[in-house]
Amino acid sequence: DADVTQTPRNRITKTGKRIMLECSQTKGHDRMYWYRQDPGLGLRLIYYSFDVKDINKGEISDGYSVSRQAQAKFSLSLESAIPNQTALYFCATSDDEWNEQFFGPGTRLTVL
């Protein structure tokens, strides 16, 4: 079984809809991250959490919110989706500051 899972794997939605992407991990790591990847732009950090009570904004947090429901679960929400949020979204985990991060398989989100 995969250590880091993401649901859904693909989602098509309409402008203005609320969307939640979920991430679960079985690695027992405290640190969890959400990234988005756009063609030609690499991975950019949206939010990160170092433990259940610690949530931090990343480089591109506007338009997104997160919830750390448990050590193993970290959800990303788009309160009102817009077309330029169409991207590939990755969740990742790590267990120390040296940041060897373990990534989930990604969620491809399309906002029409």
Q: Can you tell me which of 32, 33, 74, 109 binds other proteins, judged by CB under 8 A?
A: 33
Interface region with other proteins, contact rule CB under 8 A, candidates 13-21, 34-42, 70-78, 79-87: 34-42
Question: Does 104 help bind other proteins (rule: CB under 8 A)?
Answer: yes
Question: Does 47 help bind other proteins (rule: CB under 8 A)?
Answer: no
Are the C-beta atoms of residues 76 and 34 closer than 8 Å to each other? yes
Interface region with other proteins, contact rule CB under 8 A, candidates 13-21, 60-68, 71-79, 93-101: 93-101
Count Cα atoms within 13 angstroms, Cβ side, for 28.
0
Q: Strand ranges (DSSP E) for 1-112?
A: 4-7, 10-13, 19-25, 31-37, 43-51, 54-57, 64-70, 73-78, 87-94, 102-103, 107-111
CA distance 86 to 11: 10
Least Å from the CB of residue 36 to other proteins: 11
Q: Can you tell me which of 45, 52, 55, 72 binds other proteins, judged by CB under 8 A?
A: 45
Which residues of the shown chain bind other proteins in the complex (CB under 8 A)? Answer: 4, 33, 40-45, 48, 56, 58, 90, 92, 97-106
